[in-house]
Every structure is written in C-alpha cells, then in structure tokens.
Amino acid sequence: PKAPPVAHYNLNNVTITSDPLSNRENILLLTPMARFYQQYWDNLLKLSYPHELITLGFILPKTKEGNAATTELQKQIAKTQKSGPEKDRFKSIIILRQDFDPPLQSQDEAERHKIQNQKIRRAAMAKARNSLLFTTLGPATSWVLWLDADVIETPSDLIQDLAAHNKPVIAPNCFQRFYNPEKKAMDERPYDFNNWQDSPTAVELAKKMGPDDILLEGYADMATYRALMAYMHKTDGLRQETVPLDGVGGAALLVKADVHRDGAMFPPFSFYHLIETEGFAKMAKRLGWQPFGLPNYKVYHYNE
C-alpha cells in the first residue's frame, strides 16, 4: 500500500508581521473558561479581524460550573457557526475539558484573590493554559491571542492594534467598570496587577525565598514595590505608548507564535519565584523575547 501523503509546512512561510491582516496571518485565540459570559462572546463577534483567519480554543474545568459554561458556549457556537451571518463564522473551534487534578472549587472574586489560595490556583491555571496551548498551536499559527472569558469589552480592532507594535509579547491594560457611590456614577479602576516592571525590593525578596516559594503581586503582606502598568495609565496618554514589562497577566495578551514554539509556556511551579503568566514573561525574556505593555490601551474585565 502507498504511504499516506506527508504534510509539509515551511515555518519560514508563516509570516508574523505588524500587518497580519494584509498578510492573511492565522490567529489562535485561546480562552481558559470557568464561566460563560454572553458579553465575552458578543465582544468576540465584534472583532474586526477576519474571522475566517481566527481559530478559537477553549479549556473548561470538569466542574458543575464548567459543565454549565460548556453548554452555554456550545449553544453560542452553534448559533454563530451554523445559522449566523457568514462573516461572523470562525475558521475552527476547539473545546477541551480539563482532565487533570481534582478540579478547583468554584471561587468568587474575593476568595480566589486570597493570598493562601493563590499558589494552588495559579498552578492549576498554568496547567490549563499549557494543555490548551500545546494541543491547539498549529504549524500555520502566526499569533496567539490569550483572552480570558471574563474580558467582556475590547476595541474591535484589538488584534490589528496589538500586532501593529510587532512585539513578541504585548499586553493591553485591563480595567474594570464599577459604580462609584461617591461620584454617583459609573467609573473604572485598574484590575490586572500582573503586568509590571521589576523592582530592587522584589529582587531582594526573591533572594531570601525557598526554591518553591513564589512572589505575588497586589498583596499588602508582600510589598514588592514593582512598577505596575495598571497605575501607569494616563487619561490623556497616547494609546500606542509602550512600556517594557518583566511580568505579564493573561487577561489579554498577544504573543508571537514563535515565542511559544521556542518553548515559552506557563510554569505551574516556581520559575525564578514566578508562576503562570508572570513566569511566562520571565521565560520569554530568557529566550530573548522582551514583553511589552500598553498602559493607555484598555480592555475591561467583568465586575462580579
């Protein structure tokens, strides 16, 4: 019998440029999802990058909540891919269910942000991101866009805007809308504190830590004095202003696929005393890929 045909991909022909639209570059949009928010899906549909060049990948935990989210997600997928307008349809969609660990208990915002819950949570999240990445990254992928399931509002040109900077790793600033009782009006505040520049204090703290200990950002009992991108935002600042970063969050993050292909992943263990997305930034850097952030380019996180 004849041998099956061999698929050849010349990675040199897969371009990764500042103008992905003109070069028809493939985007892999990855979302770890514990809960389904309709606004997340509606925002996805509004992305102006040609949907026929976007592959969606999801990973959901095998919990009651994860099951409910999977059902909701599948309902919306069926609507968009089968009965919706052709221009809304994505190239392909992959859904994974987590098959490791006892799944984490569902936690509300306050509970999951408690410092003693962070190491286990972040390690589980890192594994979820790695599973999702390693099962979906293909030979034709140019860019990977990480977008959390609770990021419910982004500019519609998000992909083009981020890619235009031609950075290996680039993070917009993740904010949260809330009702401000003092102003008696809607307001917004910084949400994601994982985008930061390192400080001498944090470096010193890390030196005194045990090999498995991790540094966490945004906790009073662990003052790192890192420069947080969340606080670099200026109301009148240029949207295209960039700053170099040492740590990144995963709420919204555009990564050149070559950075992941080189081996940069999300360490589910202490890597230079960093874990998950912050560990990823460090690993990218060690591979020679400098992460950047956009302090004045905002995306919005759901408010529980």
Please tell me whether residue 115 adopts helix, strand or coil conformation: helix
* Residue whose entry in the numeric block shows the structure tokens 């004095």: 225
Binding window for Mn ion (CB under 5 A); candidates: 10-18, 92-100, 143-151, 209-217: 143-151
- Scan residues 104-123 and list those touching ligand GDP (CB under 6 A): 104, 112
**Is position 192 an interface residue for Mn ion (rule: CB under 5 A)?**
no
Minimum separation from the CB atom of position 22 to Mn ion (A): 33
Binding window for Mn ion (CB under 5 A); candidates: 64-72, 100-108, 148-156, 174-182: 148-156
For residue 44, which amino acid is it? L
Nearer to Mn ion, 150 or 276 (CB): 150
Binding window for Mn ion (CB under 5 A); candidates: 68-76, 150-158, 215-223, 279-287: 150-158
Q: How far from 199 is each of 73, 130, 206, 217, 246, CA to CA, in Å? A: 41, 28, 11, 12, 10
Minimum separation from the CB atom of position 90 to ligand GDP (A): 18
In the chain, at which residue ranges do the beta strands (DSSP E only) sit? 26-32, 54-60, 92-97, 141-147, 151-153, 169-180, 185-190, 196-197, 227-228, 243-244, 252-256, 291-301
Q: Which of 80, 123, 150, 202 binds Mn ion (CB under 5 A)?
A: 150
For residue 88, the 8-state DSSP code is G
- Scan residues 21-50 and list those touching Mn ion (CB under 5 A): none
**Do residues 14 and 5 lie in contact, with contact meaning Cβ atoms separated by under 8 Å?**
no
Residues that bind ligand GDP (CB under 6 A): 32-35, 59-61, 98, 104, 112, 124-125, 128, 148-150
Residues that bind Mn ion (CB under 5 A): 150
